[in-house]
Each structure stands twice: as C-alpha cells, then as structure tokens.
C-alpha cells in the first residue's frame, strides 16, 4: 500500500516590522516553482526534506539542517521538491533597507550559507514574528526588531566578507539610559529604531549587547518582565485580567496569560483570585 503523502500547506502574512515585507511558511510535497524574480531578498530555512533550485541558471541543492538560503532581488530562480516526502520551509522576504542591492553579486556567487548561528537567529526571528492568526499589532515588536538586527549583522558578515563592526566595549551608561526609556514607556513600548535615535543613533546591536551585558537579559525580555509586574499590581487592585492585559501593554488576555504563566507560575485569573481569598 503506497504511503499517504502529506498535504501541501501555506501560511503567509505581513508583520508590522520594518524591513520584513512578508513571512511565508509552507509544506510542499510535489510543487515546482517556475523561473521568477522577486523585488525583495528571500531568506529561507528548511525544517525538513530537501529542495533543489536554480539561481542565475546555476543549480543548487539544499537539505542540510544548519544551512540558510539567501536569494537576491531581481535575479531569476526556480525551486522544486527532490524526494516524495517534499520539504518544509520558512521564508522571510526582506526589503533593501535590510540588505542593499549592492550585495546581490555576492549572494549570487554563494546563495547557500552553512552557518548554524545564522540559522538559529533566523529561527528565533520567526518565533518572535508569531503567526498570522494574531492581531496586526500582536508581534513582539522590540524582540522582532532586535532579532532582525542580529540577522542583518550576520548576513552582512557573509556578503560583505567582513566581521561585524567593532563598537567598543558594552556601555554601562548606555544601558542605564535605555533602561530609563523602557521604564518610562512600559505599556506603550519602544521600537529599536526609536530607542537608537533617542540615544544618539547608537547601532542597534551595540545597544542590545550593552543592555544585556549590564542587566543579564535583552531589552525585550526586560520590557516583558516590567509589563508582567504592572499587570500583577493591576490585578491585585481589582482589575479584571482582560483590562489588566491591555493596560499593561499586552495586546489581549491570551498574550498576558502566556507571559504571566512563565513569570509567575499561574494564570492571571488565579493570581487575582488569590488576592481576594
């Protein structure tokens, strides 16, 4: 009896994160892309199976767990499954604010990047971007922007053939100033570009590294913890979980519940009831 092949599925959405035009997740069992071009960069990782593609009329095959595929804008490419099991992929379509078109030639020469660190960073960015079922503003914006900054830095290292720019040792004073900004804007939050501009146009990755060196966690994790603290106070003051969620900066009660459970160990509703017992 022949094996049942899994059904092809596609999930795509536009996250509210500058530089990312589209997120695309797919499982294909027998699909073949015709030759085509994009006006964006396509950054792809595989979660299973193998894929074969041609870029600028040169064929490549990829199935390595730690590899990343980067296809430049304006260059013709195709793609097809290699085995009956097909493949599962996640793609980020990045505009030229993330990678300039001047790096196209380097990407054509080497579209396969065997880099476990880069793959893990891309995976983490996908996790931060959430899912299309979430509300439009549901993305953990500061986390997604931070992770994108480190992905961009790693890609520049590959394409431009140079190590990340040295910005000097992490700055304790810089970290304190960023913490003050985050503390002043707990419910509304703060974007990475906005923080960088307010602190003197500091490079985003240097800003994040400085904060983590000073406080032991990245800015987005610090902000989430502060929001949980605010929600705790609101719940103990008698506010219902749904209201406490939005007042503390979470986009709905489910979002609060996910983070509250990780930080406190119980749900917001149970926590609130414990204060009335």
Model confidence at 212: pLDDT above 70: yes
Beta-carbon contacts of 133 under 8 Å, excluding residues fewer than 6 positions away, are none
Confidence bin at 7 (pLDDT 50/70/90): confident
Note the pLDDT of residue 168.
61
* Neighbour-count burial of 228, counting CB atoms closer than 10 A to its CB (0-12 exposed, 13-18 middle, 19+ buried): buried
Note the pLDDT of residue 82.
77
pTM of model > 0.75: yes
Note the pLDDT of residue 130.
81
Q: Which DSSP string do the residues of 134-182 spell out, in sequence order?
A: S-TT-S-HHHHHHHHHHHHHHHHHHHHT-PPPP--SPPHHHHHHHHHHH
Confidence bin at 245 (pLDDT 50/70/90): very high
Q: Select, from the ranges 28-32, 162-166, 253-257, the one with the highest average predicted confidence (pLDDT).
A: 253-257
Model confidence at 1: pLDDT above 50: no
Query: Which pair of structure tokens corresponds to residue 16?
Result: 């509210």
Each residue of 81-138: pLDDT tens digit?
777 778 889 999 999 999 999 999 999 998 999 999 999 999 999 999 986 655 555 5
User: Using CA atoms, how far apart are residues 187 and 248, in angstroms rounded to an integer?
Assistant: 5
Model confidence at 2: pLDDT above 70: no
Q: How does the average pLDDT of the chain come out, rounded?
A: 88
Note the pLDDT of residue 138.
59
Each residue of 29-74: pLDDT tens digit?
877 788 889 999 999 999 988 888 888 877 877 666 778 999 999 9
Percent of the chain whose pLDDT exceeds 90 = 68
More reliable by pLDDT, 57 or 150: 150
Model confidence at 171: pLDDT above 80: no
């Amino acid at each position: 009896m022949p094996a049942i092949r899994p059904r092809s599925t596609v999930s795509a959405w536009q996250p509210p994160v500058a530089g990312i035009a589209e997120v695309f997740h797919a499982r294909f069992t027998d699909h073949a892309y015709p030759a085509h071009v994009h006006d964006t960069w396509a950054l792809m990782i595989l979660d299973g199976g193998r894929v074969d593609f041609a870029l600028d009329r040169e064929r490549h095959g990829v199935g390595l767990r730690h590899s990343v595929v980067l296809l430049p804008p304006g260059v013709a490419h195709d793609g097809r499954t290699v085995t009956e099991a097909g493949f599962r992929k996640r793609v980020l379509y990045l505009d030229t604010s993330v990678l300039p078109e001047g790096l196209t030639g380097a990407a054509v020469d080497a579209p396969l990047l065997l880099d476990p660190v880069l793959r893990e960073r891309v995976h983490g960015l996908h996790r931060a971007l959430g899912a299309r079922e979430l509300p439009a503003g549901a993305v953990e914006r500061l986390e997604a922007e931070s992770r994108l900054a480190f992905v961009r830095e790693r890609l520049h290292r590959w394409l431009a053939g140079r190590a990340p720019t040295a910005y000097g040792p992490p700055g304790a004073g810089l970290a304190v100033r960023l913490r003050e900004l985050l503390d002043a804007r707990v419910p509304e939050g703060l974007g990475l570009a906005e923080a960088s501009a307010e602190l003197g146009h500091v490079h985003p990755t240097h800003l994040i590294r400085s904060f983590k060196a000073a406080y032991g966690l990245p800015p987005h994790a610090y902000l989430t913890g502060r929001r949980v603290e605010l929600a705790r106070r609101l719940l103990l003051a008698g506010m219902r979980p749904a209201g406490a969620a939005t007042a503390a900066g979470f986009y709905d009660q489910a979002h609060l519940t996910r983070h509250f459970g990780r930080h406190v160990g119980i749900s917001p509703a149970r926590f609130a009831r414990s204060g009335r017992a």
